[in-house]
Structure 1
Amino acid sequence: MNDGMLSQEEIDALLNIGSDDEPDETLHTNEVESLTGIEEDTLGEIGNISFGSSATTLSMLLNQKVEITTPKVSVIQKSEIKEELTFEPVSIQVNYIEGFTGNNLLVIKAEDAAVISDIMLGGDGISPESELTDIHLSAVQEAMNQMMGAAATSMSTVFNKKVDISPPTIKHEDDGTIFEEDAYVKVSFQLRVGSLIDSNIMQLMPIKFAKELVHQLLNEPAENETAAAVEELEKPAKEVEAPVAQESATEELPQYLGNNMNQNNPQVQQAAFSTFNQVELNQKEQRNLDLLLDIPLRVTVELGRTKRTIKDILDLSSGSIIELDKLAGEPVDILVNEKLIAKGEVVVIDENFGVRVTDIISQSDRLMKLK
């Protein structure tokens, strides 16, 4: 303009430019935290181990072959999650109550949840009901409870400390409270259940919690504790070879199923036996004895027993729970050729079950039992 004053259009243009610049600065200051390559690999390995155990548990529950692919780890914003939910979601939230402080969220398709619930309730999973009722959601919740319980047991072994979870909570629809964080670490994998399910599952955890898992696994104290646990596992074999009186020491023990009975200051006495090597035998007798020692015997570990009526047996189906006559943490029976010879406590070594012998009959009584 000739008078040197700005027109209203020019003033509006200047104001629009200023308003456009401000959000860019805000976006830069609120940039989402990312993961390093080591953190992604570590979280992927944790997911691979824990979900491997979960797959085994789910296979037993559904009586179907269950396969889980290698997890993929990435960071995802809250807005991006909603864009990925192109299906009807069912979410299961799990809170850690011991070992860690945090939670994670599993998101599966409603149609997959319907298949799982149908099998849990005695169906074949081929033609499940399209509508998920409260009883169907309860069945899915129980399946996920056992799956995540198995995952927590695996994490106990990995982190060399007790890890426990609260019963999971399940939601069928997003009521605005499912995704509370601005960003999550997404662990996605492919789940295949026989020929019934072939789809993706997402595990979402807060970034802070994910980084804490990586920190606890990779720091040096955790490695020292793991070495101490391995040494403790090898300790019984060493004591049998050369029993030496030792003072009480606080050492990390393997993960126990249930409550470990009498694990503090157990009274252990070394029994003295005469060995066959001390008996002088001729060549033929020694050869016969060697043949006897090579005879294979069936060793069975019995968790417990129960009695049920014929009606109860006929009513059993996949997912049924049978209560045994033993309390959690009680010693299990160790039988050789169906004869009771020892008692022990169940431990987890890597991903396998084992039994630590806590009480055993004398060698002569063992020989009598084997007649």
Structure 2
Amino acid sequence: MDGMLSQEEINALLSGMSTDTGSAGSDDGSNVLSDAEKDAIGEISNISMGTAATTLSSLVNQKVVITTPVVSYATWNDLTESYDRPCVFIQIYYKDGLDGNNILILKESDVKIITDLMMGGDGTNITGELSELHLSAISEAMNQMMGSASTSISAMLEKRVDITPPISTLVDLNESIDGSDIAPFLKDTFVKVSFKMEIGDLVDSELMQLYPFHLARELYSNFTKGEQKPEPEPQPVKQAQPEAMPVNNQAVPTQQVQIPYPQMQTPMYQVPYPAPDVNVAPAQFQTFTVPQQVTNQPENINLIMDVPLEVTVELGRTNKSIKEILDFTPGTIIELNRLAGEPIDVLVNGKFVAKGEVVVIEESFGIRVTEIIK
């Protein structure tokens, strides 16, 4: 009633504080990064993925932007609750410079757009299920992307860092209980680095990179070693000491004497040099006469009348992607960019010279020239 706590309430509070303190003290820090470690991981990811974005841009012929990363912690349950399913896991193993592996996660739709662009499409052919062809293409793209990223990491850590070819897998997050069947470190808390990825006007999505804690700390350790590398101290310059001159067979101690250098004074006046005698006269030129025009000799075109030229008749053209060409079978109809009955092009050595129409001469096709192109 008077606002004072009873002895039982005080004991309950003290017991609760002792329990909290004990749980905090039991944490050995294995699943926690310091602020410096998180900043270092973010900086390394920012530079390496910036290089990877440039590589991906050249592969898909689109502008690729990967924004500043966000470093946080996550568990398998966090992924299953927040990320799309199914998605593509790309596992990247280090074979030189670092020990361990990390995982890139891409949405299924993003993988279809990237692979369609790589095959010459416009990024809109994303219907159907994800096939082995998609997984093979995205593995090759990630191999080049993460290869260039490893080169950037090598420059930052001042050591060789190399990866094995990435392995891409289509994963349904609901089918795995704790992710340990994909990678052992997914069973516990891990480091998640999130990026916002934009590819032209086709992709505005999230890209995730997952690290085990030991690999994150190894990156930080190598990163700080490169920054704290001591610079060699400059060696002091030894000044020559004058030797002691003996006087009456007794050594005289040497003394450092500063000898003043004579200062050069600017002369008050300058003595002019006499100019040499030179004969100067105006230049004389010969009269310029216009040469008479030489009459052109008639060209003898008969000299080249027997030179053979290649005549090509072009019925029409079209563009097909690699996927469409691989689907060709006997009986496939290919639509050209020319209407039926429209004049066709006649080319001589690859140069467009005339238009004509198709005729049949006995059992062979022929061309009747209808227009000469000047």
What is the TM-score of this pair, normalised by structure 1?
A: 0.52
Which among 225, 229, 247 is matched to residue 224 of structure 1?
229
Query: Matched residues in 2 for 1:159 and 1:59: separation?
Result: 25
Matched residue SS, 1:224? coil
Matched residue SS, 1:35? coil
**Aligned equivalent of 1:212:** 218
Q: CA deviation at 1:48?
A: 0.5
Query: Matched residues in 1 for 2:47 and 2:27: separation?
Result: 34
**Aligned equivalent of 1:297:** none
Q: Which amino acid counterpart does residue 109 of structure 1 have in structure 2?
A: K
Q: CA deviation at 1:34?
A: 1.1
**By percentage of residues, which structure has more helix?**
1
Matched residue SS, 1:185? strand
Q: Which amino acid counterpart does residue 58 of structure 1 have in structure 2?
A: L
Residues 316 and 223 (structure 1 numbering): CA distance in 2 closer, same or farther, change over 3 Å? Answer: farther
**Aligned equivalent of 1:114:** 112
**Aligned equivalent of 1:185:** 191
Structure-to-structure mapping, 1:32-181, within 5 angstroms: 33-174=31-172, 176=179, 177-181=181-185
Query: Matched residues in 2 for 1:86 and 1:28: separation?
Result: 37
Which among 180, 183, 202 is matched to residue 196 of structure 1?
202
Bigger Rg over Cα:
2
Query: Matched residues in 1 for 2:321 and 2:55: separation?
Result: 16
- Aligned partners of 2:31 and 2:190 also within 8 Å: no
- Aligned partners of 2:193 and 2:210 also within 8 Å: yes
What is the TM-score of this pair, normalised by structure 2?
A: 0.51
Residues 216 and 129 (structure 1 numbering): CA distance in 2 closer, same or farther, change over 3 Å? Answer: same
**Aligned equivalent of 2:366:** none
Q: CA deviation at 1:123?
A: 1.4
Indicate the percent of aligned positions where both proteins have the same amino acid.
Answer: 43
Matched residue SS, 1:172? strand
- Listed as ranges, the gaps of 5+ residues in structure 1 are 1-21, 229-313, 319-371
Matched residue SS, 1:122? coil
Query: Matched residues in 1 for 2:321 and 2:38: separation?
Result: 40
- Aligned partners of 1:35 and 1:75 also within 8 Å: no
Q: Which amino acid counterpart does residue 33 of structure 1 have in structure 2?
A: N
- Aligned partners of 2:112 and 2:126 also within 8 Å: yes
Residues 132 and 99 (structure 1 numbering): CA distance in 2 closer, same or farther, change over 3 Å? Answer: same
Q: Which amino acid counterpart does residue 173 of structure 1 have in structure 2?
A: V
> Which whole-Å deviations, capped at 9, do the CAs of 1:295-318 have from their partners, x for residues lacking one?
xxxxxxxxxxxxxxxxxxx99989
Q: CA deviation at 1:223?
A: 3.7
Q: CA RMSD in A?
A: 3.2
- Listed as ranges, the gaps of 5+ residues in structure 2 are 1-18, 233-317, 323-374
Query: Matched residues in 2 for 1:67 and 1:102: separation?
Result: 27
Matched residue SS, 1:203? strand
- Aligned partners of 1:111 and 1:130 also within 8 Å: no
> Which whole-Å deviations, capped at 9, do the CAs of 1:186-212 have from their partners, x for residues lacking one?
010100000011100110010111011
